[in-house]
Amino acid sequence: MWKEHMRNKINRHLSRGGITPDHAYYLRQIRLKKLAVWATQFILLVTLILLWELGANMRLIDPFITSQPSAIYHTFWRMAKDGSIFLHTGITVLETTLSFIIGTIAGSLIAIFLWWSDFFSRVLDPYIVILNSTPKIALGPLFIVFLGDGIKSIITMALTISIIVTIVMVYTGFKEVDPNKIKLIRTFGANKLQILEKVVLPASVPTIIAALKVNVGMSFVGVIVGEFLVARAGLGYLIVYGQQVFQLHLAMTSVVVLIITAAILYQMVACLENRFLGWKE
């Protein structure tokens, strides 16, 4: 009786919004599939954590080197209580956000300039190609010499990585805009600024968002590498510090916080996608 009732209730919830029985069935199938994927993802995560914890307790792996979930949990709480984890995370997030925003804006402006001037885009093309394929991390030590061992070097490091990616991705997106759409808008007498505003930019929104997503990751890489090299604070610093004093619990806790922070930042950018790409099914 009660079971029956629950099942009906669940079914009704899964097929909510259905217009006809067939449509309801369709919705239910889609939602069931989604649920199955989520559930499996969750189980996978829990299993991995459990295996890690058990393996360490049974000494199949050495927790002194690999750390273990319970130790990470305790380290995290200790650091949360004295606030230090928030300080370090905050600094890393601040540096990442700064270089992400500056890199995106400056990179997009440069891409617009290149689109505007066919001549300069041709002139600058080989430089951009070479800069793009250079591992920017190799420049890190030089930035320290030029800018000192502070936040300036870290942000410059991250900025160099994110700005070049942005230029390349956004400019390529601009170039891929259907020339016939430009022809169409020219039949109405559009000038170059209007072509940019009404066709090139809106048509490139998907590319720009893709660039943003790549960019968050890139800025993060730049910041962490920068912190490895020079910092006295930040998650990158904590990881290096933990490693140097052989406090693997500390290093691992920082890595976990880093992963979660990266996921949150990425998700925030992904939200933009839903907002701006409403016209795509």
Partner 1 sequence: MTIIPKVQIEQVSIKYQTLDGETNALENICLAIGEGEFVSIVGPSGCGKSTLLSLISGLLKPTAGRVLVDGKPPQTSSQKLGYMLQQDYLFEWRTVYKNIMLGLEIQGKDKHSVKNKVHNLLKQYGLWGFRHYYPHQLSGGMRQRVALIRTLAVDPEILLLDEPFAALDYQTRLTLEEEVATILKRANKTVILVTHDISEAVAMSDRVVVISRRPGRVKADFAIRYAAGRLSPFETRKAPEFRDYFNRIWKELDIHVEGTHAQ
Of 5 and 280, which has the nearer Cβ to partner 1?
280
- Cβ–Cβ < 8 Å for 195, 185: yes
Chain residues 128-187 in contact with partner 1, contact rule CB under 8 A: 178, 180-181, 183-187
Question: How far, in Å, CA of 212 to CA of 220, rounded?
Answer: 12
Shortest reach from residue 188's CB to partner 1, in Å: 4
Shortest reach from residue 129's CB to partner 1, in Å: 22
Shortest reach from residue 14's CB to partner 1, in Å: 27
User: Which range, of 79-87, 124-132, 189-197, 232-240, touches partner 1 by CB under 8 A?
Assistant: 189-197
Which of 70, 97, 121, 194 is in the footprint of partner 1 by CB under 8 A?
Answer: 194
User: Which range, of 26-34, 131-139, 160-168, 201-209, touches partner 1 by CB under 8 A?
Assistant: 201-209
Interaction pattern, residues 205-244, with partner 1; x per rule: CB under 8 A:
x---------------------------------------
Q: Which tokens go with 80? A: 């949360």
Which of 61, 101, 128, 203 is in the footprint of partner 1 by CB under 8 A?
Answer: 203
Number of residues that bind partner 1 (CB under 8 A): 21
- Cβ–Cβ < 8 Å for 167, 110: yes
Q: Does 279 bind partner 1 (CB under 8 A)?
A: yes
Which of 24, 49, 190, 272 is in the footprint of partner 1 by CB under 8 A?
Answer: 190
CA distances from 93 to 133, 153, 223, 232, 258 (A): 26, 16, 9, 15, 10
Shortest reach from residue 196's CB to partner 1, in Å: 12
- Cβ–Cβ < 8 Å for 223, 55: no
Q: Which tokens go with 205? A: 């929104």
Of 98 and 185, which has the nearer Cβ to partner 1?
185
Which of 199, 208, 211, 223 is in the footprint of partner 1 by CB under 8 A?
Answer: 199
CA distances from 82 to 75, 86, 242, 247, 279 (A): 11, 9, 17, 18, 47
Interaction pattern, residues 254-273, with partner 1; x per rule: CB under 8 A:
--------------------
Shortest reach from residue 24's CB to partner 1, in Å: 23
Shortest reach from residue 192's CB to partner 1, in Å: 11
> Contact positions toward partner 1, by CB under 8 A?
178, 180-181, 183-191, 194, 198-199, 202-203, 205, 279-281
